[in-house]
Structure 1
Amino acid sequence: MSSVAIVGRFPPPLDGQAVVTRTLADLLDREHGGTLDVRRFNLSAPEGDQISDVSRGDRLKHYLGAGARLRTWASSLPAGPILWPSVSPSVMGHLRDVGTVLPALGREREVYAVVHRGDFHTQFEHPLTRWTAPGLIRRLAGVVFLSHGLAERCAQWIPPEKRIVVHNTIGPDVEVPPEAARAKSERSVSGRPVRVLFLSGMIPSKGYLVVLDAIAELQHRGVEVEATFAGRWLSAEDERAFWTRAHAPGAARAVRHLGGVSDRAEIQRLYLDADFFVLPTTYPIEAQPLTIIEALSAATPVIATRHASIPEMIEDGVSGRFAAPDANALADAVEASMEPNVWFALSRGARARYDAAFAPEAVRAQWMELLAHMRPASLHA
């Protein structure tokens, strides 16, 4: 039977890393529409819904014991490759990887790291990991990046035959059905406020303050706008600063903040209700934001910065627009896209971009092409 093993963090906790690992496993698993027998090893500590639910000491204890459990599990696997979506570029994560995970997997299996952060290249530059990172690469059969841009960041340390690009995708719990996306693209955007959505962790470098100031600028220009922010705060101080900023330029009456939203049906509804999804991110470890893929699925035009993988995710003027991380630039991009015929074209282009590059069928095909070229006979049985 054709098989593949996946070693990574699965929910809970329900964070981006765990979600993409579960999505990858389901995508390939014959029980969820794929064609392979997928074996899963969960590296997540028993943390509950959030990472903060367990102490750092308990988490360290869990990872120290994971090596023996992983070694036993790996020794029982049928022949086949191992996909490793939790490889880390951080100092502590890298030391865990080279000291625990890789030795437990043995040397006879093909292991493919799947990189979900935009700072993987930093381990080759950090004084504490620059000497061990090349050994990690020598051991791996390949490194899967989410975009060509992210792969290129590592070109001087990873040979081209080991640099592979496969996109992210999203699960059926948040994917918008084609008929719902089509209906959205045909709706009128005239005669009501423009609806703008920011959905992300409330991390300052994700750009939520830029969005807030852009809302105030649009109001100053006489544009009726409603802005919805959804995401968990990092601190109470950040939340207070947000509302202080909202009141200062007079944007508060057009703004609502929902907090963290974990209900997938509610997330889907937020994308469908929005006229634009905005993400003026400069987040240092940004890779390929799932939120942009979710927005494209909902036929929601994306306005975002040219950062990390984003220039390869949307097409300027076709499925969205690029804007500098600046309130005036963001307001200009929204205002330039409000005219009904322009918005209709962008909305249809957003869904077309999703179908072509990020839909589960498209990404499954990318993975199966990669897996077909791997050596283990189990994949060709």
Structure 2
Amino acid sequence: MHRPIYLDCHATTPVDERVLAAMLPYFRENFGNPASVGHFYGWEAEAAVKLARETIAQTINATPEEIIFTSGATEANNLALKGVAEAYHLKGRHLITVQTEHNAVLDPCVYLQSLGFEVTYLPVNADGLIDLQDLERAIRADTILVSVMAANNEIGVLQPIAQIGQICRSHQVLFHSDAAQAIGKIPLDVEAMQIDLLSLTAHKIYGVKGIGALYVRRRQPRVSIAPQLHGGGHERGMRSGTLYTPQIVGFAKALEIAIASQEEEHQKTLSLREHLWQRLSECDRIILNGHRQQRLAGNLNISVKGVNGQALMLALQPIVAISSGSACTSAKTTPSHVLMALGHSQELAYASIRFGIGRFNTFEEIEIVADHLLASVRSLQ
């Protein structure tokens, strides 16, 4: 059976064979529990986790103690927002985020509102970027946290994280960023960018699903978060649960590979994306969503005017695996909240396609997809 060309790397990525090779020994030979500090098997696993923690910390200019392992970016986001809200509620009950955030940030914000917290949802410009003056005006005396994602999961737009961090620090407000799509693809430095909490995940960078991390700053300022999982007091008491050593080892290996090849992969995926856009822009019905340059190299998000979105996706399914929005919300019948925030009509938001170009895609695949998409648009007009 013919398998479609995979261009949905913002949803997930295939596990790199080097990552799998690094993980395999920790399923059988080195299977110990890293919390079992009384014997060799535990020490072996503990050493592997320690090394992985150091590797991950180094890539974002953090210390190993500041890395808290989670089941993924969704849990990391929940831990950051709910954990800060609970820990700092006596200082203030106001948070700020952006209308185009992932649901793993928006839904916890709605939950916190049900508990009496106030949340300001910043709008974005037509290109998907926030107005920094809007952010500064939104900060109040009782603001405790600002959460702005580094790279948008649908339109790939890169927010000015360093400038946001500077604004937050000047107002003594904590700054959290969801970097699920950004880690390993763009340089991230928690010190230079003045980030206090950073959510990470492995499966967007050719690691396995089910493992992520939250960076929690320990100094200048020391950030407190209330745990959301209680049990054995693992991860400095912030996240209880037996650490999954194979996944942690794989996460570190995936990130190590991504950082080592970051510039090379950036240039490759950018070249493929630019070629795809060059081909698709031949059709005046196709418009680009998000900032033209300030976006992830492998991201292309388009809308097609005057074409039924569902019919277009059905026409493309046999040839290419893509999403019409976030993979986490693709089962919903509502239009993308991200594209609606850009000012699109519901019709245009429905007729959108997100291309996520990755490490293993080729020029030939891009040509096939471009040919088929243009032919499909012509037939559906």
Normalized against structure 2, the TM-score is what?
A: 0.30
Higher helix fraction: Structure 1 or Structure 2? 1
Structure with more relative contact order (C-alpha pairs < 8 Å, separation 6 or more): 2
